[in-house]
Chain A
C-alpha cells in the first residue's frame, strides 16, 4: 500500500513535466504456449495431475485444459503405468502406491513424442513428538499457544509446511427430526508475526528482527537454521469457534515437502503478493517441469491434534450419551453421531 502511494505521487510529479501515454503493439504470435503441470504426490492419496496450457498475457479467451496427452508414471525409473484422463485436463490413478523416500517421475506424451517430463522425491515424514498448549489474551481475545515438538533430522536439506485444519462438529436437524452431526473442515490461522522461523521461511535466524517478508500464507520453512535440532515450534492461533458447535478437532499437520515443492510455493506466494508493485523485483515461478512449467512435487506428513469439546451442548442435545472421557488429543466423536455427509 505504501509503495503504491509512492508510485502514485511519483507519477503525479512526472506528469507535471509533461508526457504522453500510448498503447504499444504486441506480437502475440511471438509467445509460444507452454504446458502447465500441477501434481503433488503423497502417501495414501491417489495420483492426481492437472494439465493445462499457458495463454498469452493479453488473451481474453480463457484457459484451456490439455486433454489429449498420455501421462506415463514411473517409480525409481520403473514404469508403473499410465494415468487415466477423467476429463478437463485431470489425469488420475489410485492404483499406484506412493511411498516416502522414493523418487517418482512422469513423462507427458503426445503420441510417440515426449512433450514434457518431471521427477520428484517424496520425503520421509518428520514425526510430531508432542504438543503443549497454553492460552493468552490479545486485545481481549483468547488465543492458543501450541508448542509443536519434533526432531529435525539434520541429515540433508529438509523443507516443511505447516497446515492447520479445524474439523468442526456441528449439529443439524435431519429430515426425521433426529439430531445429526456434520463435520466442517476449514483452515485455521497461524499468527506468524512473532514466529521467526515461519515469518522468514527459515532463511533468517532468530536474531534477525528486521527482515520484511510480505507474508508466508503457505507456512513453509526450511531447516537452514534448525538442522538437527530438537524443535519446539511455538504457534499462536485463534481459539476455537465455540458457538453452536459440539467440538473442534484442530489437526496440526507437519508436512515434509520436496525441495522443488518448497521453491514452487515460495515463488507462487511472492509473485502473488508483489506482482502489482513496480518497486518489487520480478518473481519467476519455480518449475521442475522439463519443457513446461508448474510442479511435480511430493510430501509426507505427520499429524497431531488438539481438541475442544463443548460438554454443555452435548449434554443438552444428547442426554445420557457416554462420550470418551479423556480429553487427550486424538480423541474423536463416536462415528454413530456423525452425519451422513461431510462438508
Chain B
C-alpha cells in the first residue's frame, strides 16, 4: 500500500438478454472490490462482492457502480461485512456507491454490514438514481465498533432519486469528531447498530405504504414519492437485521 491509500473501482452492468434473463456485459473490479457472478434463482442475475483485502483504510478511495438497464434484474450482495480500519495514510477513507436503475428494471442491493472499527475514519456516500417504473430494494447497515470497542468516525449519506426527484437525502455522522449529541437521545442513544432499508416500487404512487412502527426503535415510513424507508436502531447487528427483515416481509 502506498502512503496515498488504495484506489479501487468496481463496475457492474446488467442488461436484459432478450430471452427473459439478465446478462452481465460489464463485471469489473479487483483487489478489495471484486464482483463475482453467482448462481441465480429465477431470471435475474446475482453478483457477490468479494473483498480480497481488508479495508477501507484511511486514505483509501473505493467506488462501486452498478447500472441495471431496461428490463434487467440484478441482485447484489457481499461475501462479508466491510470493515473500516485505521490506516497509515492520512485522512479519511471514502467509499462511493452509485446505483442506476432504468425503467422496468429491478435492483436488490443487499450488502453485509459496514463495521466502523475504533480509530477508523470513513465517509460513505450512496446515491441511487431510479427511473420511473423501476424497482429498488436497498439496505445499509452501520455497526459502530467491533464487540466491546469504541466506534471510529463515520459519515454516511444516502440519497435516493426517483424519476429525477429526490425522495430521500439523509446523512448520519457518528463517532469521535462527529457533531455533539450523536450518541445522545436525539440521534443514537447508545445504540451500536443503525440501518436503512429503502424500497422503491411504482405501485406506491397509487397506493402508498402505510406508516407503522416496529417497536419503539424501528419504523416503516412512506416517503414523499413512490418509496418507503425503514429506519431502525438496535443494540447489535443481529437485532438490526432481524427488524429490517421483518419490515421487508411486511411489505410483501
- Note whether A and B form a binding pair: no
**Chain B residues in the interface with A (C-beta under 8 A):** none
